[in-house]
Structure 1
Amino acid sequence: MAFTPAKWPRKLRSQEWYGGNSRDTIYHRGWLKNQGYPNDLFDGRPVIGIMNTWSELTPCNGHLNELAQKVKAGIWEAGGFPVEVPVFSASENTFRPTAMMYRNLAAMAVEEAMRGQPIDGAVLMVGCDKTTPSLLMAAASTNLPSIVVTGGPMLNGWFRNERVGSGTHLWKFSEAVKAGEMTQDEFLEAEQAMSRSTGTCNTMGTASTMASMAEALGMALSGNAAIPAVDSRRRVMAQLTGRRIVQMVKDDLKPSDIMTKQAFENAIRTNGAIGGSTNAVIHMLAMAGRVGIDLTLDDWDRCGRDVATIVNLMPSGKYLMEEFFYAGGLPVVLKHLGEAGKLHKDALTVSGTTVWDEVKDAKNWNEDVILPLEKALTQQGGIAVLRGNLAPNGAVLKPSAASPALMKHRGRAVVFEDIDDYKARINDDALDIDETCVMVLKNCGPKGYPGMAEVGNMGLPPKVLKKGITDMIRISDARMSGTAYGTVILHTSPEAAAGGPLAVVKNGDIIEVDVEARRLHLEISEAELNDRLSAWKPLHERPQSGYAKLFQDSVEGADTGADFDFLKGCRGAPVGRDSH
């Protein structure tokens, strides 16, 4: 049946460009027709922007061009007009100094692409760590109907009959080489087994965590997060997503309708249940800031503290994303949270129904992968938010990846002034350090690195590793990969480069960590701390030009999401003047 504008309850935004017969609309319409589009595509049907983060330098997203074709098919089937729009793609494994430095740039670029072009709704095609939050931040800012489809995780890695988790085993094997337990040749052989298909990390790293966060928030179709990249059901999900966005435009179902405070609380509790990445804290705070939701570190601690980690995946557990999908995926986790009274069941999703309607019939097909509550990896998962004179604005730790014996500890600080200092000294057997010490890394926060690199999970010194020690307390203003593990305290705020207390920690200072009491304390007097802070000077000069200057001038602290101060809030997507 022919599509007619009368089916739509209101004039679509794209008709400001393409509707009517004025000089300006003929200008816009005529140029687009050079691609062979017939007249009736401009008759008032919704134009859907497929915001595609495909790039050959973003390996995790390298298959999104193929997936986009399925999205297009779904949009055509539902009566929409799909247009594929390549957008900024911040690759975790190629961008220097760190992909996190470009998350805000990507969000700003995508926001303006959505605001300044004739689209009525958007499909956000994401995968690699920063692409998911950056596009969700953009969608929250423009508030156009939007839906997420992720690229999916790669297949399990295998090396000598052992599961190889991307990222997790990179750190594990690297430490084994330093400890003399693995040869360099064996490490190189294992490299070939780490990434054997297209897709994102197969652990519960940041990519899989953020895919889960998108689903838990209600911004992706139910079941989207865990489908492997190469599974045919991933392509089906893409096509269904294409169909769904057309109806979302018709219903005017916007991010602000879905990304509510209740939805964020659902996602926080989900993060605890899956043993998700600490990076989710920063990204979710930034996303909430864009949509205008008051979300804080205290919400993370309050909502996640009594949530058990029941997903037995690396780096916290044993399995990988492939098994998680076969076991039933995220819908099983959300159902468990609902049955435990830890889910806002009436939160709306992009499906147009509630989250509970989507998951109430989910089945757990493998209780060794998605564990019963009594067999949880830890009864208190979530993210622990520590405070004290060393972190007045907070620091975070992931209990499910930490060593229980180190959750309450008092030790001597061994201080590294920046990442270069760490690299220069860590392998020196003369370094005065043992397993009882607390490793402290400074100047790696949002302003300090700059960009806040994933260096917080500092490798242990070889002299300690050779004793068979595999974990020590590490404190920094940096981030760590979601694939990493250990008793690692991160995001210490204010950061060292902004003159936070971390900046004035000295070698030999005693630091007390008490995770249960949520305490992070530098054992010096208040007067001594104030004297040190008064005498403090920045370690590095600030950049004087370019994006690096904009970044350091405008980036906020990790405790509020490390977004740019001028990008907070939902600005909408009004149609501007046409000067043609």
Structure 2
Amino acid sequence: VLHLLAIAHEAKVPMDLETINKMSARVPNFCHLAPAGPTHIEDLYAAGGVPAVMNQLAQLGLLHTGLPTVTGRTIGENIAGAANRDPDAIRPTDRPYSPTGGIAVLWGNIAQNGGVVKRSAVAPEMLVHEGPARVFDGEEGAIAAIYAGEIKPGDVVVIRYEGPKGGPGMREMLNPTSALAGMGLDKSVALITDGRFSGASRGASIGHVSPEAAVGGEIALVQEGDRISIDIPAGRLELLVSGEELERRRAQWKAPAPKVTEGWLARYARLVSSANTGAVLE
């Protein structure tokens, strides 16, 4: 999502999180690759690879097959004859893993400009969840608490000040999600962050929360023990705190000192935009 938004920005192509959410809502999920499912990338390759997946999307009218490509041929010509050789690795069009895509965008008072979750890697029991916030101003503290056994089933881990400006650089939060999985908590604990995730993440891991904490986004106002409600099917992410209380907290909030004060990374932190616009330099 982050890269698509950045590429679209540079190409002057209109695209936003609402567009991505609408596309994901109408494109089925054919593959569940590890760690989200039992098959691996080599299984996808043996089943026909990405061309086979694209062929199935084309059968559903979801690709512009007449577009030219770098091969000198159109998309339709590139995937002509690509067949699904393993319906367990690539589900056929009539029985996808889900009728919607792997990505969902959530909005709410804690993510007024959106947050992103890999819905296809979320356990069914975590699609709707409410729990107490466990708040960490950085990745390292969260990892230490997870390994120390301080995070309990039902908790919602909040990792902030890891966004484009706050990181700076929007670090990948793969280590905390791996720690939760290693402690057997990936099906009972949610994670919310203004950082980002890789394709290897699993569980109710919601990233790209915007506005980020470093610019005073509501994720900066979360306090230990606050209740947080997650409803992925409904696209909602809510901090169960009154608007009046949030305004009181906002009046007391002070932006932290930048972690880097010189060099290219400091310049990046000063110029970078929000994750919901692709974290591009302005």
TM-score by length of 2: 0.92
Aligned identity (percent) is: 36
Q: Matches of 1:408 and 1:332 in 2, distance apart?
A: 33
**Does the 8 A contact of 2:139 with 2:176 survive in 1?**
no
Give the alignment partner of residue 428 of structure 1, picking from 124, 148, 161: 148
Q: What CA RMSD, in Å, does the superposition of the two structures yield over aligned residues?
A: 2.0
1:444–1:413 distance in 2 versus 1, CA, 3 Å: same
**Does the 8 A contact of 1:410 with 1:510 survive in 2?**
yes
Match of 2:27 in 1: 307
1:420–1:320 distance in 2 versus 1, CA, 3 Å: closer
What does 1:431-580 align with in structure 2 at a 5 Å threshold?
Answer: 431=150, 433-455=151-173, 458-459=176-177, 465=183, 469-471=185-187, 472-541=189-258, 543-565=260-282
**Does the 8 A contact of 1:477 with 1:493 survive in 2?**
yes
SS in 2 for 1:331: helix
**Does the 8 A contact of 2:168 with 2:260 survive in 1?**
no
Q: Report how many aligned residue pairs link the two structures.
A: 280
Q: Is 1:376–2:93 an aligned residue pair? A: no
1:549–1:344 distance in 2 versus 1, CA, 3 Å: same
**Does the 8 A contact of 2:105 with 2:116 survive in 1?**
yes
**Does the 8 A contact of 1:494 with 1:557 survive in 2?**
yes
Give the alignment partner of residue 139 of structure 2, picking from 412, 419, 427: 419
Q: Matches of 1:370 and 1:520 in 2, distance apart?
A: 31
Match of 1:288 in 2: 8
1:459–1:328 distance in 2 versus 1, CA, 3 Å: closer
Q: Matches of 1:524 and 1:415 in 2, distance apart?
A: 15
Match of 1:329 in 2: 49
SS in 2 for 1:314: coil
Q: Is 1:298–2:47 an aligned residue pair? A: no
Match of 1:396 in 2: 116
Q: Is 1:406–2:123 an aligned residue pair? A: no
Following superposition, the deviation at residue 317 of structure 1 comes to 1.9
Q: Matches of 1:427 and 1:358 in 2, distance apart?
A: 48
Following superposition, the deviation at residue 542 of structure 1 comes to 5.0
Following superposition, the deviation at residue 457 of structure 1 comes to 6.1
Flag the structure with higher helix content: 1
Following superposition, the deviation at residue 469 of structure 1 comes to 4.1
**Does the 8 A contact of 2:186 with 2:204 survive in 1?**
no
**Does the 8 A contact of 1:438 with 1:475 survive in 2?**
yes
Following superposition, the deviation at residue 425 of structure 1 comes to 3.0
**Structure 1 residue identity aligned to 2:11:** V
Answer with 1 or 2: which has the greater Rg.
1
Match of 2:78 in 1: 358
Q: Matches of 2:275 and 2:131 in 1, distance apart?
A: 25
Q: Matches of 1:456 and 1:504 in 2, distance apart?
A: 24
Q: Matches of 2:114 and 2:45 in 1, distance apart?
A: 34
Q: Matches of 1:312 and 1:501 in 2, distance apart?
A: 33
1:457–1:407 distance in 2 versus 1, CA, 3 Å: farther
Following superposition, the deviation at residue 297 of structure 1 comes to 0.8
**Does the 8 A contact of 2:132 with 2:156 survive in 1?**
yes
**Structure 2 residue identity aligned to 1:450:** P
**Does the 8 A contact of 1:310 with 1:376 survive in 2?**
yes
Q: Matches of 2:144 and 2:107 in 1, distance apart?
A: 30
Instruction: Compare relative contact order (CA 8 Å, sep 6+) and give the higher one, 1 or 2.
Output: 2
Structure 2 residues not aligned, in runs of 5+? none
What does 1:33-52 align with in structure 2 at a 5 Å threshold?
Answer: none
Following superposition, the deviation at residue 314 of structure 1 comes to 1.4
**Does the 8 A contact of 2:116 with 2:208 survive in 1?**
yes
Q: Matches of 2:202 and 2:148 in 1, distance apart?
A: 23
